[in-house]
Amino acid sequence: MDSAIEPMEARAVAAIPEGPGWQYEPKWDGFRCLAFRDRDAIELRSKSGQPLARYFPDLVAALREVSATRFVLDGELVIPMDDGTLSFEELQMRLHPAESRVRKLAAAHPARLMLFDMLLAPDGTTLVERSLAERRSALEAAMPTLSHPAVALSPASYDIAQAQAWLHALGTGRDGVVAKRLDLPYRAGRRDGMAKIKLVRSADCVVGGFRYLAKQPGVGSLLLGLYDDAGLLDHVGFTSTIAAAERAALTQRLETLIEPPGFTGAAPGGPSRWSNARSAEWQPLRPELVVEVQFDHVSGGRFRHGTTLLRFRPDKAPQQCRMEQLGQP
């Protein structure tokens, strides 16, 4: 099977969909991962299609140890900590250029792959056109051949009460619930038939520019952008919730990316009555950094208020940050 296949994605909705025909799963706080094996060849691919194997040699070794020698699996890469929680920060630390550093991190906190779908069965059967109900049954049947401490079957349920319990039991590495239609095939790269529900709304945005603080050196706010249907990067808002301890390092990082135009569609406006000359000016950036921000309201295709910076998303391609994330559920 072509390793360039895109994972099926979920659209954000406000409430868990009810009624027959839905399967509910916990939403894990990790990196989406497609795992391919063809005998000795093992490949790990991120949601954006980037190779992950060099950053997770422990998982590659684990998949090589299972008895199944052929498969394509869909799941979430997570890193369990000693207290049973999952650490997204540990995942981000894995994306390091030094192999020695990666292997040290892998030895300290091995990764785990939480499986929730299968596109190619160990017997060579292609499952992409099969319904989720069939794919889930095939995955469960294949688990004995995938048995390893680093490989786990993500739980699933048809009971909305269980889904509600997962949604509200946060803080252990679950950041919501995913609902999937049982009757649909695997729709690569599409968001229909699959929904994600969080207690807060968030969006992944491109950092298209930044403004300096008004009266001291350092970044004051990040200017956020999303791609529209024409492929243009539109300015949609800002976030200024930058930790003081991280400001200097982040400023240096941003200054290495300064390059016009920053935004290719709607650009940031002029100064407000609270701005001085320095803080009103914005610096355009190459569209390389992605951040996840929490927001409360959208008006006219923009965040109505400032947003809360949740985290940087090195696992997300800028081109995946699209305006459709702001659509009303």
Is 27 in the active site? Answer: yes
In one-letter notation, the amino acid at residue 148 is H
Kindly list the distances between the CA atom of residue 146 and the CA atoms of 71, 114, 309, 324, in Å, as whole numbers in the listed order.
10, 12, 38, 36
* Tokens 């069965």, located at residue: 121
List the catalytic residue out of 27, 180, 196, 316. Answer: 27
57-65 and 99-108 helices cross at what angle (nearest 10)? 60
According to DSSP, the residues that pair with 221 across neighbouring strands are 211
Question: Pick from 183, 166, 206, 50: which is nearest to 129 by CA?
Answer: 183
Report the 10 Å Cβ neighbour count for 158. Answer: 12
The two most distant CA atoms of the chain are separated, in Å, by 67
Which of helix, strand or coil describes residue 167?
helix
Measuring CA to CA, how many Å separate 96 from each of 33, 90, 135, 314? 18, 11, 35, 11
What is d(CA 177, CA 167) in angstroms, rounded to the nearest whole number?
A: 6
Angstrom distance (rounded) from CA 117 to CA 35: 11
Positions annotated as catalytic residues are 27
